[in-house]
Every structure is written in structure tokens, then in C-alpha cells.
Amino acid sequence: MDALLKEKKKNKIPNYGKRGSARSFGRYVLITIGTLIVLLGLLVLAIHVPAMLYKPEETVAVVKENSFLIKPDETGIRNMLEYVRDHQNEDFDNDGLTNGEELKYATDPRDPDTDLDGVCDYAEVYMFESRPGQKGNQLDTAVNDLLKKNNLSVNSPFKLHDIIMWADNLHSRSAGTVIPTIRGYRFKNFNGWAQFPGTVYAYKLDGQFHTPLSHKEKEDAWRIESENEDIEVVLYASPLETIHMLDFFGRKYYVETGIISDIFDIILPKEHSFICCKSVVKQDTFDLEIPATITEAIMPKFDKTDLGRFGKTTSEFENLTKVYTSIKSGKPVAVSLQSQQYGEVIGMIYGFTDFGDLLFADEFGNKTDKSGREYILEIKEQSAITIDHTGELRQREYFDYSGLGFDSEKGDKICFMFPQK
């Protein structure tokens, strides 16, 4: 009997398909698995390719006359030019060149480093005999010579504002800077590592959004990448709580951190696809109003006929601090916004946001235009290592501003008119 059963198993009747060929169950399983793998691969490609091919659009800001929220007074153009010509023996920007020399060499009499290459205009003309309107690499060369003189390397640590920094390369060592902001620190022209005082957790801040920085635990150093674009870093005593944001065809879902969301975070692209997943700081998911410190918008008294405002450079960082202090004490500050192309707008600063931006009102106390757009001057704290007119290296601390159609990075000026003591 056992022999008969074994014989039946050997001679098992095959299962034939429609075309008469015998089916193989194992082959069927392999084909099915292979098909699923191919489909899964195509799905993965469909999800990741858009993110891989994504290129941010390049936008070029064009400032036109009608882009000003308040029409500039065109007589300011003539006043600016005439004031410089009438004071050619003075040095408005304290760079060592007189205003007359600035006119001769086509440099900016109210900016000590016209081409922003780290060498002041005087040093370019008389020490390096280079063109002050054309960027050069004299700063890198000077710092490299100084390092060799002191038997130091590019990677040797240095300190700015109590922050110990290790640079990746010569340019980061020579031009890398950091400056305190209302919320933390702003790094510029620096790639490398930074160690902050005390035990902290460091995050890159973009608006109100936080991104944790890479950390070397042994050295307690945080990774800074600001050589191509300056970044603001904020510090906390403890790590911020995070959750996962799942973007599914434009709809955002927030999921508490767990095993499944961690897997999604690993296998899905972070952004620029129709299905994305990334870890975000929980507090960034809330719509928060930006608090502001304000005072009554009453125009301070000042002499409008005094054209000295066209010879002052008040974009130094210490003047911004004075504005904040004045607002806190309940006193608005008169201000002149100046464009060499379009003219001047006079008004007052009556407040500032927790981000450090300035709240502007015109001479009559109007805080918005007819369409309701609020008058705000966005502030960006800046710093730069500069070879001054004595040949010494120093960190210059200043700020850029933009708003109401003005932009200091395009050459526009700002003059705060503090009351005389």
C-alpha cells in the first residue's frame, strides 16, 4: 500500500494552463514577486525623481519707481550729490579716503568697502594699489601670511563673540564672521564648526522654522554652513520637540514620532515631490503672531533743512541697538531713507518686532499705505572682516535693510536722526 502511494506522488497529474503547458507554482510566485518589485521600483522612482530633478527658480528683483510704498522726494537726489561735493575734504565713512578722493576713484563716500571684498577703499588705493570697485583676494592673502607668521594653520581655532570656530578652508578663516542678533547669532562667509558657551542645542533659523545643526559630541561643536548664504543660529537649553510632516499630494498631515513615521522619513524624499516626509520642530507647525515692541507714532522734532543727514553713515550695528533702546523707552526715532536714483523718504521708527525688523510710519503717523500694507523695514544683521586704512584686520558690524521699495544691498542708505543731547 505504501509503495502504491509513493508511486502516485511520483506520477502526480500536472496542472495544465489554457495553452496546454504545465503550470509551475514556483515560477508563478517568482513572476509575481518580480512584477511587484518592478512596480515598487517604478513607484520609488516616481516619488524620488521630481525631488532629484528639482531646481529652485532664479528670481531677479527689479526695483521700479512705482514699487515704492511712499513716493520719494526727488529733491533728495540733488541734495545727496551736492552735499558730498560741498564737503570734499571730509571723510564720511572713516575709511581714510576723503570724499574728494572717493569721487575721483568712483567709490562710495558712505561705505568704507565699496566692493565688499574685505579691503577698505583706502587700503585698496594706497596699500595694495588695486581697483577699489573690483573684488580681489587680498584679504585671503593677508590672513594666510598672518597665519604662517604665527605658525598657525587654516584649521586652527579662533574666537569671535565668545564662540570658538574651526574653519574648513582659507576663505572661511579669513572672511568668516559671526554677529549677535535679537534671537541668536548670524554667521556669514563661514564653513566649519562652532562651539558655543555652555551646554546648548543649536538650530538654523529660517523665519520661524528651525533645522537642527549637525553636532560633534566629543568636541561639543556644531556644523555651520554659511559660505554661500549667511544663516541665523538660535540656541536652546534643551532639544526642541519634533514631529513628522507627511505631505501627500499637497495636503500636509502631522504625525507623532514613531517607528512607522521614522521609516517614512528614511524612504521618502524630504521635499519637492508629491509624497514627502520629514521631521519638523513641533512649535513650527503653529501659526504664531510675531510680537512687537511699539511706542506712539508721533514724529520727533528735527531740522529738515539740515542736510547733514546726507553725510552720515548710521548703518553701523551700534546705531540699530540705539534705536531698539529708544523704542523701549517710549521714544520714536526720526529716519531718512535715501536712494540716489529716486530720492528721499522721511518718517519715523515707532517699533520693532521680535525678529528685529523696524516698524515705520510716515511724517503724519500713517503706518500703512492705502491698500493696508504695513510699513516694515526688514533688518539683517551683518559683519565683515576688513583690512582697515592702517592695515589692521578688524570685524566691522553693521546691518542691511529693505522695505518700502528701498534696499541697502543695492546702495540705498539709512540715517537715524537721534535727538541731540
Report the domain count for the chain: 4
Residues 297 and 404 in one domain: yes
Are residues 273 and 378 part of one domain? Answer: no
Is 245 in contact with 277 (CB distance < 8 Å)?
yes
> Is 249 within a domain?
yes
Distance from C-alpha of 96 to C-alpha of 90, rounded to nearest angstrom: 10
Q: Are residues 308 and 229 in the same domain?
A: no
CA–CA dist 279, 242 (Å, integer): 6
CA dihedral 302, 304, 305, 309 (to 10 degrees): 80
> Does residue 103 contact residue 85 with C-beta atoms inside 8 Å?
yes
Q: What is the pLDDT of residue 18?
A: 56
Residue recorded with cell 521699495: 405
Within this chain, do residues 413 and 296 fall inside the same structural domain, yes or no?
yes
Whether residue 62 lies inside any domain: the answer is no
Check whether residue 359 and residue 410 sit in a common domain. yes
Give the pLDDT score at 9. Answer: 52
CB atoms within 10 A of CB 156: 12
Q: What 3 state SS string does 115-174 have?
A: CCCCECHHHHHHHCCCCCCCCCCHHHHHHHHHHHHCCCCCCCCEEECCEEEEECCHHHHH
What's the CATH code of the domain at 322? Answer: 3.90.70
- Contact at 8 Å (CB) between 132 and 102? no
Which stretches in the chain have pLDDT values below 50?
4-5, 59-65
**Residues 317 and 407 reside in one and the same domain:** yes
Q: What is the pLDDT of residue 64?
A: 47
Residue numbers of the domain that contains 319: 292-417
One-letter amino acid identity for 337?
L
Whether 220 is in a domain gets the answer yes
Distance of CA 322 to the CA centre of its chain: 24
Inter-residue contact 309 to 336 (CB < 8 Å): yes
What pTM did the predictor assign?
A: 0.80
pLDDT at 62: 46
**Cell (9 digits) for 98:** 576723503
Distances in Å between the Cα of 224 and the Cα atoms of 216, 231, 270, 283, 410 are: 12, 8, 21, 23, 27
**Same domain? 301 vs 407:** yes
Whether residue 230 is found in the same domain as residue 273: no
List the one residue out of 125, 160, 117 whose CA is nearest residue 141.
Answer: 117
Cα 122 to Cα 96: distance, rounded to the nearest angstrom: 5
Residue 394 in any domain: the answer is: yes
Which of the listed residues 195, 214, 236 is the one where a domain comes to its end? 236
